[in-house]
Amino acid sequence: MISIRSVSKTFLSPSGELLRVLQDVSLEIPAGASVAIQGPSGSGKSTLLGLMAGLDQPTSGEVIVAGQAITGLSELALSRFRAKNLGFVFQAYHLLPHFSALQNVVIAAEIAGLAAAEAKALAALARVGLEDRAEHLPAQLSGGECQRVALARAIVARPPILLCDEPTGSLDPVNADRVFELLLELQRDLGATLVLVTHDASLASRLGLHIALERGRIVAGVA
């Protein structure tokens, strides 16, 4: 479902130094798998997830997602591809602050070209237990609730792939566990492939496959 082939990513640091953030990374993630990506801070986890989502392009190598080589697609083609195939959950929620919970999800549904976007957005909010918070702005929601809105937004178009970057990182243990349970449940319902970056070893242990990154290289895992 996700194929990363000899991917390297280098950044130029502000001081002009070449940073090798990912070095010759290859891995195959089968459809329906649940994968945990772990590793120290700065090891390249978010960079790798961003490449899977086509949010960034590799310096070399190839990224194939849902049968499509996404390296080199235009921005427009990429955004269409993402809307159809990917749900992305960011650590810091990334909700639009001036839009209600419902509108945040509706916008994602509209970008994905769904008919009856509002009804589907409401159903997605109900799915994460937030139908009674639909009109709240993000600032009027708790952290756990914001993260659940972000989940609703990620699943509204029923994507075959869910990419999550430390989706429980800013939550207390009880809420982290709730959001994680919900994520697994949604993955099962959608039959989706789940890739999750986490620092939490006990959450990671509940996923099927494990990838460990260190200084931009895979040191253990499914490659």
Give dist(CA 152, CA 102) in Å, integer.
9
What minimum distance in Å lies between the beta carbon of 165 and Mg ion? 6
Q: Contact region for Mg ion (CB under 5 A) — 39-47, 81-89, 140-148, 185-193?
A: 39-47
The angle subtended at Cα 118 by Cα 114 and Cα 119, nearest 5°, is 90
User: Could you say whether residue 99 binds ligand ATP (CB under 6 A)?
Assistant: no
User: Could you say whether residue 21 binds ligand ATP (CB under 6 A)?
Assistant: yes
What minimum distance in Å lies between the beta carbon of 169 and ligand ATP? 8
- Beta-bridged to residue 163, according to DSSP, are 88, 195
Residues in region 39-98 near ligand ATP by CB under 6 A: 39, 41-47
Give dist(CA 72, CA 44) in Å, integer.
21
Q: Which does 15 bind (CB under 5 to 8 A by kind): Mg ion, ligand ATP, none?
A: none
Nearer to Mg ion, 134 or 179 (CB): 179
Residue sitting closest to Mg ion (CB): 46
Per DSSP, the three-state class of 72 is: coil
Q: Which does 19 bind (CB under 5 to 8 A by kind): ligand ATP, Mg ion, none?
A: ligand ATP
Give dist(CA 117, CA 28) in Å, integer.
33
What minimum distance in Å lies between the beta carbon of 211 and ligand ATP? 12
Give dist(CA 207, CA 34) in Å, integer.
5
* Residue 185 Rama label (left phi>0; alpha psi -120 to 50; beta): alpha
User: Could you say whether residue 34 binds Mg ion (CB under 5 A)?
Assistant: no
